[in-house]
Amino acid sequence: MAAMTGPLAFGLVAAFGVAIGSFLNVCVYRLPRGESIVSPPSRCPSCGQGLRWFDNVPVWSWIRLGGRCRTCRATISPVYPFVEAVTGTLFLLQYWQLGWQPLLGIRLLFVAAMIVLFVIDLQHRILPDVITLPGIVIGLAASMFLEPGWQAALSESPPGEVLWAVGEAYFRVRGEEGMGVGDVKMLAMIGAFLGWQLTLVTLLFASLTGSAVGVGMVMFDRRHMKYQLPLGSFLAAGAVVAAHFGQSLIAWYVGLFS
């Protein structure tokens, strides 16, 4: 753990996170469109002009070009630099919490998947199987050897049904169609990586923030009654919060009753 610490390690982790964020943008854009995430190289969605390497520097390129394509001047969504900056920040937080250990690699992978699901659900209201299904398998495999341990990951099933029923009841009361199949697969993935306790924290967070945003939007404009909230985005945010603060929240909650 003392292998590399201090500002240099933090700088490297942040730079790595921002670079991965750049790749996550490719996933966010191409996965819902059924395109390959490996080829062709990045190009402007508007004019198809390929990006030159110096236009491909995360965050900085977007700021320097004023959020526009160099060739056709089409606006480039601020979501791109946002995803890069958020990935860098969340990678830093995970490293700060865990230090160098095998679990760090697994958690970075998990956080990256949550960022992709957050944006795709927000933009398209889908949670692609190509992320959630391998996510369940990888999460279970990792949990055999690392935190939270295989018992917690597998015992996800009985409380998992309870979680699902709570969420289902909650979202039906709101007058929505309830949780979709994609949301359930995503919850299973979160359970596989984090164990059922942190999945409960995730669901609690998603319900609270989801209802706050939903009520806020209706108060702002009644036409938003029909707006379909991206539950997957709230779950993704909740899962990242749970991975980072969940254990201290649980300890605090248990402490209240002992």
Please pick, from the candidates 47, 130, 165, 215, the single residue that binds Zn ion as defined by CB under 5 A. Answer: 47
3-state DSSP assignment of residue 19:
helix
* Among 9, 14, 44, 103, contact with Zn ion (rule: CB under 5 A): 44
Among 19, 26, 30, 46, interactor with Zn ion by CB under 5 A: 46
End-to-end CA distance of the chain: 34
Which parts of 58-97 interact with Zn ion (CB under 5 A)? Answer: 69, 71-72, 74
- The minimum distance between CB 47 and Zn ion, in angstroms, equals 3
Residue window 175-214: x/- pattern of binding to Zn ion, with contact defined by CB under 5 A: ----------------------------------------
Choices 48-56, 117-125, 154-162, 195-203 (CB under 5 A): range interacting with Zn ion = 48-56
Choice between 46 and 123, CB closer to Zn ion: 46
Q: Measured from the CB of residue 24, what is the shortest distance to Zn ion in angstroms?
A: 21
Residue (72 or 130) nearer to Zn ion, CB: 72
DSSP 120: H
Nearer to Zn ion, 55 or 121 (CB): 55
- Would you say 43 and 51 are in contact if contact means Cβ atoms under 8 Å apart? yes
For residue 76, the minimal CB distance to Zn ion (Å) is 8
- Residues 254 and 72: their CA atoms lie apart, in Å, by 58
Q: Is 15 in the site for Zn ion (CB under 5 A)?
A: no
Cα 171–Cα 173–Cα 177 angle in degrees, nearest 5? 50
**Residues near Zn ion (CB under 5 A), total:** 8
Residue 162 binding Zn ion, by CB under 5 A: no
Q: Which of 51, 154 has the CB closer to Zn ion? A: 51
Phi-psi region of 102 (alpha: psi -120 to 50; beta: other; left: phi over 0): alpha
Min dist. Cβ of residue 50 to Zn ion (A): 10
Pick from 35, 179, 21: nearest CA to 113: 21
Contacting range for Zn ion; rule: CB under 5 A; set: 43-51, 124-132, 227-235, 248-256: 43-51
| Closer residue to Zn ion in complex, CB, 69/187 | 69
How far is C-alpha 142 from the geometric centre of its chain's CA atoms? 18
- Output the six-digit token pair for 86: 């958020």
Residues that bind Zn ion (CB under 5 A): 44, 46-47, 49, 69, 71-72, 74
